[in-house]
Structure formats: structure tokens, C-alpha cells
Structure 1
Amino acid sequence: MYQHYFGLAEAPFSIAPDPRYLYLSQRHQEALAHLLYGVSGDGGFVLLTGEVGAGKTTVCRCLLQQIPASCDVAYIFNPRLTVEELLSTICVEFGIACPSGNASIKVFVDYINAYLLDAHARGRHTVLIIDEAQNLSAGVLEQMRLLTNLETNERKLLQIILLGQPELALMLERPELRQLSQRIVARYHLGPLTKAEVAAYVRHRLEISGAQRQLFPAALMGRVYRLSGGVPRVINVLCDRSLLGTYVQGKERVDRATLAQAAREVFHQAQRRSLVRPLLVVLILLLGGMLAMTLYQLELRETGTATAPAAMAKPADQTMAATLPDTLEWPPDKPRSRSKAIAYAALFRAWGADYKGADACRQAENLGLRCRSVRGGLDELRRLNRPAVLLLRDDQGREFHAALVALADKTATFAIGAEIRTIALGALAAQWAGQYTLLWRMPPDAQETIRAGERGPAVQWLIGQLAEAQGRVSGTGKDPLFDDVLERQVKQFQLAQGLIPDGAVGPQTVMRLAGVGDRSAPKLLSGQGGQ
């Protein structure tokens, strides 16, 4: 949208893991060196962890451009699979021909071992890279360890690189995974950028995209660092929104006010800030009223006529009794270990289904639903308008799950254990780090990615959903095209939904569109028939 205005060849702050834009900070250089060591090493496991958005996948894409010609690499980026499914995927990625319809683990392993022996005989190195590996179950990880058992006197025949969030490292500390942990020959945790590296990172991406002038003053870099925490993906989203705001205002470069507004949009701070002053006023008035009432009671009590003040004090007492709890606690009569199963049972009930245990997302797919498990904020949940399971912590840091079943302006209602509890949103902030899982329904004509230039039922569906969302009449032809006009309508919808207005119809945009007019789905917000 703003590339031509600023003289850029392409968007400089896309969140796609493009290796051309990789800024090799000292940490990223070390991470890449660990991966290269893993590719050329003598087998075993290499572990790379980092927070969401730290750049793990981008470093891995850079690795794929530098692998030696003697290496055969398989890259798996959706590891939420069973043992059989993962082994089947490995066979597909390496081009191993297995018997059609096979579901035997032994058969898969035998074919993989035969392939590894043949590759070794031909002087080839075999490398398996698994992204988002924190989603692997302990059973699947153990099977991966067993695959590395095949070895010669000099080296193991399979090198496995695991990329994941910090919880992956914690998972590998479990006693049942100690054998795998002992086979990790290199570990590295990719941390955030420093303040100086953030400034260099922003300059680097602008230069790659063809910027001819300074679009972000040096004086703002400290603010960008503090807002983003040095996380590259957050920097990208923040800078992209800042450039969009600068373009809309017709300015030459980003200023402090535009950056602040971008931060409010990215971190969903506008509503919170707007409520601060009114809440303070209400609090002052309430305290003042209680003080006046107390003095009035004392005065009447001294004159022997305390009956009336006592009656007047009743509403205040009722107000205090109705005060919401300041924390959400797990019921002591229920085992905390079952909190996840209980929460998912409540979530599935909201969709009119029974939760049967095990993998909730896989079960949802069998019911014709999709599963979204990410880290976000309350504003995002309001827009999605679907019940969700939240991962919470009590004041002692112990984790438990609860189903968020209703969300109002100032309160949140949970199904926790066998109870329904409501707490103030301010209390929720102290217990929730943003991790949630929700279910949504993919319409039959839709698809997860709809690209410009396409035709067909998915484009027809897209046009109809945009028209309903934007209050227009859908006037489509027999075989509509995803053209420039439709792309502009997509961008308008994305902007209204708080998404990056890039015109690309991916999973997040499809999910928001799927919610439009789905009146049979359970709602998080009261009084809304659709989104």
C-alpha cells in the first residue's frame, strides 16, 4: 500500500521468513553456526529454541540456502502429528516409496533405515528439520530418538534439528526423555535483539527493500526497542503499522506520535487507556460516598438515631458484597492435573459436542471444526468472538486451564472445574500471558489460502463474505476473478479487523471471514448473532 509512496521496491517489514531480510546479529550468527554444525556433524540432535517471533524459522530458511550439496534435507513445519503420521511425512519428504495404505510403524522404520543406509553408501548426509517442535508429544520424540539409533562406527546416519519455543527445552528435561536429551550435541537459545541491534535491524530491512532516505529517525529507535522487547516479528509489525500511518497522514517519515498510535493498534492499548480516567473518577466518587456515609452514621449514632443510617448503609454493603474476586483460583475439590481436560470439555460443549480426551485439535477436525492455538490478546478474542481455553497461572505460578465462555466490557466469565466464575479484566491480566486455544468452522466452499488471480467457489465465497461484513449487496458474476478491486476490499476488511492490510487471504483472514454470519456458532460476546 505504501511502497510506492516511500519509493520502496517491496514491503520492508513483512512477517514472512524471507532469508534475504535476515539481519545477522551476533545471536543469529551463533544460531546459524549451530545449525550448520548440525548439518555437517556426525549425527544426533541439534536444539534451537527461542521465543515466538525471535527469528528461528528465518534462520532455518537461511540455513537451507547454505546446506552442502552432499546433504539431503527434509523440513517438517507442522509436527502436530501421531507417530505414524510423522513417519509417513518423513517418507514423503525424502521421497521414500512405502506400500500404499501402510499404517505399520515397523514398516515405516524399515523403509527409512534402508534409505539411510543407501544414502550413506552414496556419501550423502541425511538431515531432518522439525519446526515448532514444542508441539511434538513425548511418544513422537521418543520415536525420533529411535530413528537415530542407526549408525556406523564413525557417525549416526540421521541428523535431526529441532526448532521450538522455550517450552521445548523444558519438555526435554522430563525423566522419560533423558535418553534423547543426552543425544543433543548442540543447543542454542535465540534471545531478543539489543537496543543497538534493533536500530541496525530496522536500517537493514529498509535498505534491502530499496529505501533511499531515513524513514525512522534515530531518536525513535530506543522507543521501538522498548515497545518490541527486541523481538524481530514484533518490530516488523510495529514498523509496518507505523509506515502505514505515516503514509495515511501524508508525512515524510515516522514521528513519535505516529509510532505511539501504531503501538496502541498493535498492542490493543486504546480501549485500556481510554478507560483509565473514567475509572479513576468512579473510584474517587465511590470512596467519597462511602466516607460521607460513614461520617453520617457516626453523627446519627451520637444522637441516638442510628436506625436510618443503618438502612442507608445497606446498599453500600450490598455493593461491596457484589465486588468481583481479584483472582481466579482452581477449585480445591478438583485435581489440577485434569484442568485441561475439563476446560476442553466445556469448550466442546459450547459447540454441542462431547470431548473424548487426547488431542483436542484432532478431535475438532473430525467434527468439521478447525483449531487455533496461539498467543494473543483480549481484543483479538473479542474480534474472533468464540469461546476459548486459556492457560492461566495462580499467584504461586502453578498452571491450570479454564474455558472463557463470556466476555463483557469489564468482566470475563469462565467455566473452571464444575463452576462458573466471573472476574474483573484487571485481575485476568495478572494470571494470563496470552496463550489460548479456540475452535472455528471452515465453510465448505472456503480454503485456507485464496490468491489473487484465482477463480472458483472459494473466490465466490470470499466476495459474499466481504459483502456481508461490509454491508453491501454481493453482485458477483458466474465465474468471478480475484482482481484488484477485490484485493482492495480484502484490505479494508483486514484493517477493520486489526489485521495487517496486505490483501493476502490467509488463514487469519479466512477465519475472521468465516465468522461473518455464522449464527449457529457459540459466541463469546452477548447479544451478537454473528460477527
Structure 2
Amino acid sequence: MYNRHFGLSRQPFSIAPNPRFLYMSPQHREALAHLVYGVRNRDGFVQLTGEVGTGKTTICRCLVERLPQGVEVALILNPRISALELVASLCDELKIPYPKDTTSIKVLTDALNTYLLANHAAGRRTVLIIDEAQCLSAETLEQVRLLTNLETSNAKLLQIILVGQPELRELLARDDLRQLAQRITARFHLQPISRAETAAYIRHRLRLAGSDKAVFDERAIDLIHRLAKGVPRLINVLCDRAMLGAFAEGRHAIDPRIVRRAATEVLPMAGQDQARRSPRYLGKALTLLLGLGLVLGLGYYLSPPGGSPISGLTPVPLAEPVLPPSPPGPTGEAPALPPSPPASASIRSGPPAAAPAASETAEAVDVMPEATPEPAMPAEPMPEPSLAERLDTAGSTAAARAWAGLYRLWGYDSAAATDEQACAQAPSGGLSCLQGAGSWGLLRRFDRPAVLLLQADDGRTVAVVLLRIDGDRVAVEVDGEALWIPAGEIESRWYGAYRLLWKTPPSGNLVLRPGMRGAGVRWLRERVAKANYPADAATADPALYDESLKVAVEALQRAHGLVADGIAGAHTFIVLNNLVADPEIPYLVGAATAASE
């Protein structure tokens, strides 16, 4: 109703769970990362809870849209069902045939088990998402637990994500459900968003709907946050009605007065003295629309032939910045960056969150190494282009160009078109892939260029290269073109998925653990000592991963926020490479910073 009035292309504050409009606050990004981590690691149970309207269902739909090929999802939205109905609903979601008149859970479970085994043999995974899981009865929850008993000798055949309100946590704390609770390997609870996040949330949804204008003033946002208590769904309801009210009054800016009036109409406890009044804005809006229709009709009737009664606004084209081409050089030259914006040196914060090391075992493809050049930094600043436009116009080869750009930073060529091909190529250059889901802070602390998956306004996922971090601004390469953008702009479009390359030890080991012996262990002992975490120098065999080396590795891991298990994997190797600056490694903020961290 008010979209044209505010210059919008779509409704910005619908309460429908649309993943395209999902605002990724740090905690929403972490929640999605928990779900992705659980799916990738084939964990039996993952739990996501939060108050009504905090974005749980939207995050789940976002997860479904971003799961890789080979993952099949069954989504149950109405859990007020019996144990038999639950298994039957799961079979229906997966299109598993079974006798429709059966009343036997065993018959259904046998059919499900046969299907899951066939999926597993074909390399596919199956995920069950149960929304509103707090409504499950104890009997049905026990059946859910029994479903995780469907397994092979080394893998669960069915992964289950339980999504619900805080009552789900209370339910699973019951003594008779402790067996199920003990199988939950990842938990996350969504809290209401902060005032700063409320402002960013409102701007994010308006931008995706087509407006970069400050429709709500700061005092209006203060009031919205206070009335909605930081709950995104209530923020949507308030903003939607406030925009309708502004439209009815012919205003393009929303102040606290308009928000307060809107609250009396949509929030049950706001303005109880006006609770019985009929909505004001709806009548005004309908009257205004009727009058506008009469004016348009009269204008059309009286306009001369071929004329237009009301001329449309002509959009002013954005100046397309001309980024300088990469200077001529040998094959394997790193992508040219646009000029760095004036900003203070990047400060990298505390230790990274722990995550499992990625191990790539695909067949290697030969690559030709080149010297790793410094990215070209032109002296004259260029106008900043629009990230949204670049993402929307990115072609089908954006992923291949992203991997090519990442490999060029390491001094190699790559013609890989998929993640699998790119990671299979890595060992030939003494590299390995690390694929995961994490936070922006984790990427800063890895200090490696990375391929990120960003959401375009048209809903597509576009692969880009994160080239450089400079304070609160970052350089990215989108479909072969580099540009500087505010870090917040890329964070709002990123859902945590990353792919990066890291330099493996000379021995080629991807993991080193106690009890192992060889050149890789000797290298690890030397690197740990250089990082000021020396093992016992009197050890009888420096090529043996003994207890003294395990203690030294654990100390290093604790100091840098890693899981202190004494097992050296991708994260530990990346930390070691950062502590001992290596000129062959490209960094996000520079080798000096990496070495001093």
C-alpha cells in the first residue's frame, strides 16, 4: 500500500520468514554457524531455541537454502503429533513408500532405515528439522531419540535439528529425557537484538526493499526498540504500521509520534486507553488511495493522446567507477585492489573459536607456482561502486573467478569451477582447503584471504574473494572486479560460510597427534619452539610426538583460543604460520601484523 510512497520495490517489514530479508546480527550468524557445523559434522542432535519472533524459523529456512548438494531435508512444522504420526510424517517428507493403513512404528522405521542406508551408500545425507519442538510430547521426543539409533558403524544416518521456544530447554532438562539431552552436541539460544542492532535491522530491510533513505529518525528507532523489546517480529509489525501511518499523513519521515500511534493499534499493551478505538491509519490510507485513484483517472481522461498524465521519476544512474586494470605481469599475478581508504591500522581481536580442521583427500591437479606479488595499490582514490549492483550482475562463473582470484593471491593459476575441484588442486601447491562456517572475527584472526558466499538482493548466493581488511573497511573481488566497501555491508550479506587456503607443513601432514613420528613432528617441534612454546629439549627422539611436545602444543592452543587437545590441525598450523611470518603467505592485514600476533 505504501511502497510507491516510499520508493520501495517490495514490502520491507513482512512477518513471513523470508530468508532474503534475514538480518545477520552476530548472534544470528553464530546460530547459523552452529546449524551448519552440526550438519557438516554429522552430529546426531542440534538444538536452537529463542523467544517468539527472534528469527529461529527464518534461520532454518536460510540453512535449507544454503545446504550443499547431496543433503536432503525433511521439515516438520506441526509437532503436535503422536510418535507414530511423527515417523509417518518423516516418511512422507522424504517420499518413502509405506502401507498407508499401518499402525506399526516398526514397519515405518524399517522403511525409513532402508531409505537412509541407500542414501548413505550413495554419499547423501538426510537432515530432519522439527520446528516448534517444545510442543512435542515426552513419548514423541523419545521416538525422536530412537531415530538417531539408525546408524552405521561410523556415522549417524539421520541428523536432527530441534527448534523451539525456551520451554524446549526446560522440557529437555527433565530427568526422563536425559538420554536425549545427552545426545545434543550443539546448542544455541537466540536473544532479542540490541538497540544498535535494531537500527541496523531496520536499515537492512529498507535497503533490501529498495530504499537507502533514513525513513525512521533516531528517536523513533529508540521507541521501536523499547516497545518491541528487541524482538524482530514485533519490530516488523511496528515498522509496517508506522509506515502505513506516515503514508496516510503524506509524510516521508517517521518520528516517535507516528510510532506511538502505530503501537496503540498493533501492540496489545500499548496505549490501553485507546485499545477500543478503531485503527486510524487504515481509514486514512484507504481515503487517500481512493482520492489518488480519482486524480489518476481524471488525468488520464484529460491528457492529450500519446501523453502521460503523470511523468515517472527518471532514476539517476550511479557513476560506474573505473577500477584500474592489473598491471602487466606474469601469469599468476594477484588481483589489483582499488586504492585503500584512509583508515587506522586493523586491530585483530582475541582468539578464534575452535572448529575442526578440514581434510581434503581428492586427487591433486598440477599447478605452476609463481612469485606472490603485492597487490597493486593505485595512488588516486576512485569512486566506490555499489556492492549490491555488483552482486546482482554477477554471472554464473562468479564462483570459478573467485577461486581463480584466491589462487592468484597465493601465486598459482586455477581453472577450478567448483569447491571440490579447487580443493583437489591445493595439495600440488603445498596447500590445503579449510571450509567452514564462522564469524567475521574468526576470519580476521585467520588472517587469510578467503572465498565468502554473499547473498544478492535477488536471492542468489554469489562467491566473492575477501582480499584485504583495513580497519572497518574491506576489499573484495566480485566476479573479477575489486572494490572497497564498509565491513558492515559485507557482514549483512554473509551467512558465515567461508573457504580458504592454508600452507601445510613441508611433510604434507594435515594433522599431527601424540604418538606420531616423522619429519612433520620434527617441523612442528621447531615451529612451536620459534613461537616461544618450546618442548623438552632433552627428549630422546625429536621426531617423536611425545608428552613434552603435547604439553607445548596445548599451551600454544590455549594462548590463542583453540581447543587445547594437543592435536595439531589446520587451525594450529595457521596460528603457527602467523607467528612466524612467511613471505609466501598472503595476509588480510599484512605479514607484520600476523607475525606479531
TM-score computed with the length of structure 2 as normaliser:
0.45
Equivalent in the alignment of 2:90: 90
Correspondence list, 1:67-78, <5 A: 67-78=67-78
Please, which moves more after superposition, 238-247 or 220-229? 220-229
* 2:72 and 2:126 in contact (8 A); partners too: yes
After superposition, the Cα gap between the structure-2 partners of 1:218 and 1:272, relative to the gap in structure 1 and judged at 3 Å, is closer
Correspondence list, 1:117-156, <5 A: 117-156=117-156
CA distance in 1, matches of 2:109, 2:219: 58
More helix by share: 1
Equivalent in the alignment of 2:492: none
Equivalent in the alignment of 2:252: 252
Following superposition, the deviation at residue 18 of structure 1 comes to 0.5
Following superposition, the deviation at residue 155 of structure 1 comes to 1.8
* 2:49 and 2:168 in contact (8 A); partners too: yes
Equivalent in the alignment of 1:221: 221
Equivalent in the alignment of 1:203: 203
CA distance in 2, matches of 1:34, 1:213: 34
CA distance in 2, matches of 1:238, 1:19: 20
CA distance in 1, matches of 2:108, 2:72: 18
Following superposition, the deviation at residue 269 of structure 1 comes to 4.6
Deviations 1:124-159 (Å, cap 9, x if unpaired)?
A: 111000001111101001001001012223221110
Correspondence list, 1:507-522, <5 A: none
Equivalent in the alignment of 2:40: 40
SS in 2 for 1:262: helix
Equivalent in the alignment of 1:272: 272
CA distance in 2, matches of 1:379, 1:87: 46
CA distance in 2, matches of 1:74, 1:194: 33
CA distance in 1, matches of 2:53, 2:212: 27
Following superposition, the deviation at residue 185 of structure 1 comes to 0.6
Following superposition, the deviation at residue 267 of structure 1 comes to 1.6
Deviations 1:437-480 (Å, cap 9, x if unpaired)?
A: xxxxxxxxxxxxxxxxxxxxxxxxxxxxxxxxxxxxxxxxxxxx
Equivalent in the alignment of 1:31: 31
CA distance in 1, matches of 2:180, 2:161: 12
Letter in 2 for 1:146: L
SS in 2 for 1:61: helix
CA distance in 1, matches of 2:276, 2:81: 31
Following superposition, the deviation at residue 95 of structure 1 comes to 1.2
SS in 2 for 1:57: helix
Equivalent in the alignment of 1:49: 49
Structure 2 residue 231 is the aligned partner of structure 1 residue 231: yes
Letter in 2 for 1:156: K
Equivalent in the alignment of 1:165: 165
Deviations 1:166-207 (Å, cap 9, x if unpaired)?
A: 000100011110000000010000111011000000000000
Q: Which ranges in structure 1 are unaligned for 5 or more consecutive residues?
A: 275-377, 384-531
SS in 2 for 1:186: strand
> How many residues get paired?
279
CA distance in 1, matches of 2:270, 2:202: 25
Percent of pairs identical after alignment? 54
Structure 2 residue 106 is the aligned partner of structure 1 residue 106: yes
* 1:42 and 1:154 in contact (8 A); partners too: no
Equivalent in the alignment of 1:311: none
SS in 1 for 2:117: helix
Equivalent in the alignment of 1:262: 262
Deviations 1:306-332 (Å, cap 9, x if unpaired)?
A: xxxxxxxxxxxxxxxxxxxxxxxxxxx
CA distance in 2, matches of 1:198, 1:271: 22
Equivalent in the alignment of 1:63: 63
* 1:268 and 1:379 in contact (8 A); partners too: no
Deviations 1:377-425 (Å, cap 9, x if unpaired)?
A: x989x99xxxxxxxxxxxxxxxxxxxxxxxxxxxxxxxxxxxxxxxxxx
After superposition, the Cα gap between the structure-2 partners of 1:14 and 1:122, relative to the gap in structure 1 and judged at 3 Å, is same
* 1:15 and 1:236 in contact (8 A); partners too: yes
* 1:43 and 1:157 in contact (8 A); partners too: no
TM-score computed with the length of structure 1 as normaliser:
0.51
Letter in 2 for 1:246: A
Following superposition, the deviation at residue 272 of structure 1 comes to 2.5
Please, which moves more after superposition, 212-221 or 167-176? 212-221
Equivalent in the alignment of 1:187: 187
CA distance in 2, matches of 1:132, 1:270: 28
* 2:263 and 2:270 in contact (8 A); partners too: no
After superposition, the Cα gap between the structure-2 partners of 1:87 and 1:45, relative to the gap in structure 1 and judged at 3 Å, is same
Letter in 1 for 2:49: T
